[in-house]
Amino acid sequence: MSSQRPSYLIAGLGNPGVRYANTRHNIGFMVVDAYVARLGLVWTQHGDLYEAAQSRIRGRVVEFIKPLTFMNLSGKAIRKRMNECGLSASSVVVVTDEYNFPTGRIHLKAGGSSGGHNGISSVMEELATASFWRLRCGIDRKFGPGELVDYVLADFPADEAAAVADMISRACEVLAEIASAGPELAMQKANRPIQPPGP
């Protein structure tokens, strides 16, 4: 991997290992995996904290990471790499699941609360700020009281496969826009309403 200082650090959130690969909580990993594959890159493991891949996109160096700490300690890996690169939190983009959105919806914003998401809470705690970017990917809210953990750690159902694939594709387009034009302009692409299917 190149050691050039990136303009943006894009971190997908998830849990490592085959057991969690296709679960709702791992949509952040799925998105960065898809975009890194699209760029023809290969992940390189760095110690026991994260995997990384780096590319130059339209003249701008961008680095992608996947924390290997499990979701609830995601911030440790992100803080370490952010500090190594000499970046501020405003140059960090976290790709994560969001159960308050229907499956398929994506939304990019800077700052805000954790919304009860343990991975985002960890990033906020480790970076000592909420002013990083979040690309939130909808996983819907089809669970009852006390069922959240089992829900997010379950695989997406087969009848949502097309919506998930489309969401990943659109999220990759947003990452491309972040890399080439910056997150402020990418918000326009990310936050457009989902177009309903034609007749």
Mind telling me the catalytic residues?
25
Token digits of residue 106: 């994506």
Spatial distance between the Cα atoms of 137 and 63, rounded to a whole number of angstroms: 20
Q: Measured between alpha carbons, how far is 35 from 60 in angstroms, rounded to an integer? A: 16
CA dihedral 74→61→109→20, nearest 10 degrees, is: -40
Q: Which amino acid is at 22?
A: N
The rounded distance, in Å, linking the Cα atoms of 39 and 121 is: 30
**CA dist 7 → 16, 19, 60, 157 (Å):** 26, 33, 6, 37
